[in-house]
Amino acid sequence: MRRPLKTKSKKKVDRVPIPSQTVGPYFRITLVGKRPQGRIAVPGVKGERVKLTCTVFDGEGQPIPDALIEIWQANADGKYNHPDDHQSKPVDPAFIGFGRMGTEENGSCEFETIKPGRVPGEGKTLQAPHLEVSVFARGVLRRLATRIYFAGDAANDECPVLALVPKSRRATLMAQPVPVEPGAWRFDVYVSGPKETVFFDV
């Protein structure tokens, strides 16, 4: 004969809502601020110097104060400082090519770099100058991969990768010049919402 199952107490339990942070509060501890690298190009580097300010926003347009931005880019001649780049172009010893910065309370971080050269695309095409970008943030379990192009660059109209993006969405990939500061650019990243940045499935 089976014994009746014991039922749990129906005592009322207070439940307090918590923020929807899938990776919890440990994101800042383990990743943000670890080995920051904001200076991608040191003095003496070849190319057009650029100060790039990136700001990360959530779907409601609020800045994310503990996001992480990683940048990977080619040098002024269009060559990556990586053994997989077999182009005969020279490697610039003053150019690192990689940057990593966590955002501040206003959601922004800053990089010192150069405008990259054009790298090969499929076939005999050339891609427009761009920076490869990875975005990490609380609640994001996989990196968000995107690109930063430079608004107004004539090569944008010829870029085979940019051509894959609908014209109505290409503006989300464009860094904009800061009028009052020569050589300064800003780029806004929206992780979701009506202004969501175009992200690539890589």
Chain segment 136-165, per-residue pLDDT in tens: 988 787 899 999 999 999 999 999 999 999
Who contacts 35 (Cβ-Cβ below 8 Å, separation ≥6)?
A: 100
Q: Which long-range contacts (CB under 8 A, 24 or more apart) does 166-170 make?
A: 169/198, 170/198
Q: How far apart are CA 73 and CA 79, in angstroms?
A: 8
Domains of the chain as residue ranges with CATH: 26-190 (2.60.130.10)
Global confidence as pTM:
0.83
Lowest mean pLDDT of 13-17, 67-71, 77-81, name the range: 13-17
pLDDT at 105 over 70: yes
